[in-house]
Structure 1
Amino acid sequence: MERLALQKISTFVRSPPVFSSSDKVSALIGELRRLGAYEALVESGSKPKLITLLDLLKASDPERTSIGKIARAAVPISFEAPILEAADLMAMNEAWSLIVKRGDEVLGVISQLDLVSALSRHHLLQDVSCGEIMRSDPPRVSAEDKLSKARSIMRKKDLPYLPVVRDESLVGGLSIEDLVFNMLQPRESATRGDRGGGDSRIWSIPVKSVMDRSPIRVGRGHPASEALERMLSMKKNACMVEEASRLLGVITPRELISTLLRFKPEEEPRIYVLGLPEAGDFLELKTAEDKLARTFDRIFKRHKPIVEVVIDIKRKKIRGERALYRVSARIYFPGRILNVSAQGWYLSRVLDDLCRKLSRMRSRERRRPPRGAGLR
């Protein structure tokens, strides 16, 4: 598997369908359905975008909605990058596809499905069990729920697949293809009385009317290679892991390609502390240093990826010999910066306050839908 992880992605680059940002969603749906494709490249000035099946759920009226309004910023990768980097970027950005570039030239795309196909060809998952890689306790819907609920969950959580249960027993599955290609038909393919994305009444239909009643099922101990081969042969992008008809987890391309990340070298974030008082000015210097170290171990290492952390400690004497401390933390993630600050009279208490703020803010960040994310 390590050999595959280090192989260059240039072998797997594909040419996706290309649309203008002014084209309508209905035209895109028809072409994706004809090609059996999951994404398209959107020409949008100097910055190309990608649009996936999940993005199409945002379109309430496919005939009137322009593609550019719902397309997302594309995550780029060099054509010379290894597969490991592609898998890492997909996981980091929760992206279904990446655009492959050589300099400023867009060569094509590479998707989670391309990496899954590579895994299959190299027969690399025989020693990995389904229970090891499955997403445990995944979001699900009831067979009696309305399609509007499934649509809402898929949009909010960027999920391409939902298990369908009845009385806690697995009875089916609902994919993004089921919703887009059945419920958002382009006008030219719809006939009188057919379902159409512009009619809000269709989303009141129960899930059981559209769901796949024969999802792929495996046990926790089955090899992941078996799940992969069945997914490819049956042309389905999910596999249910169950025990006595009780849902345990789900495996999608995202979980399969995560096996490549075991070859990613562990990197500790760079941490810089500016303005830490000298021993003569602050008797609890060692305590402060230890507190910072524990903070990073407890909070930051749990929430990767973090590239760099800069802690800036400033103090101002206000009342005689007393000093007011202000501590600012800048946490650098790929493509963005998180800023947190706290202040007070005692440095140890200020650091405690900073730790609490970091925990709360990072928790909010994890719950927020990621920007630039594609189909997972």
Structure 2
Amino acid sequence: MEHVDVTRITLLLYDSQLKKTPYCRIGPNFKMLPDAESFRRLVDGRATGLVATLGRTGLSAIEIPYEALVRLRNYGYDHSILTVKKASAPVISVGNLTLGGTGKTPLVAWLAHWFAQHNKKPAIISRGYKAKTGQLSDEAAELKILLPTVPHYANKQRIIAAGEAVTKGSDVLLLDDGFQHRQISRDLNLITIDATDPFGCNRIFPRGLLREPLWGLKRADALVLTRTDQVSIKTRNEIQEQCFQFVGSHDKPWIETEHRPSNLRLVDGTTQPLKTLQDKRILSLSAIGNPGAFHRTLTTLGHEPVATLTFPDHHTYTTDDIHRISEETESVGAEIIVTTLKDLVKLPLASVRNRPLCALEIGIQFQTGLQDLEYLLNKIP
């Protein structure tokens, strides 16, 4: 479903009050906000003032019909009114309930490695979000670096991509960001929940960050809590209890994971150890759905950035952006620019003002529930 223009206008009104370089305009290439964090501040109430209050009021009004449409669509699938198509190979879906990054990509990469180690031929299926014709989406480009031997097929009609993958020899399909894509049947439905922002302000888009009501958790075969190292044990337990209130029972596997940096990757494909960041003045740069989590990851490594630059999720960097990054690097005296792997593939720069540009490569580590997950995976035919 496309977001209505009223939503865009409301957000644009709010954005006009921000003391940031304006990135949005009304038109075909309209950017909803200059960065995801600004939208989060608006919907979670941290942004104050008359304009912010009016903005939330307007978004609340739009939330009602949007939620109604989402519920109607889910009803159609739940009661077999809408058609579900079956691929000719097993499908494992990885998705989430909220907008923004919850840690799907590291999990997809782990699953691909797991199946490859178990003599399967996995392929990744995705929509190809915001990818131009003949080009890879941000996530696909990132996964190509992490999984150079695993094919990736993108198509808005994912059943067509699935058919192409099977025709070319794949025997298990990983449906990336597939929880709401209910047109294709799946053998295993995994949902990722970000421990740092699990329920998207408990409101449906555009008033909050939820893609659908929390009752959607019932469709999951297993729940994967990510970034658990960034919250307390008490918080993790509270998230688990709230999730199972909607799931309806405690029978489904509960899996807890951390995102652990493994190394630094440069644009030429080489890697450097994390100790390269030791005692360096770091500029943090990102255009992702949850920039706060990226910043916290750097901080937990013991490297507090001297400055942070954020852009909209899936942002395509322009010459003006490169100039802004260059000016900020010089202004704060940064010695190294650290970004995400998703951003590095869109920034073909070895350095900025002779300061190296590198990406923090993230892997997933299981804290609990790995045996439960592998039990489910071993049941896949």
TM-score of Structure 1 vs Structure 2, range by shorter chain: under 0.3
TM-score scaled to structure 2, two decimals? 0.24
Q: Which has the larger radius of gyration?
A: 1
TM-score, normalized by length of structure 1?
A: 0.24
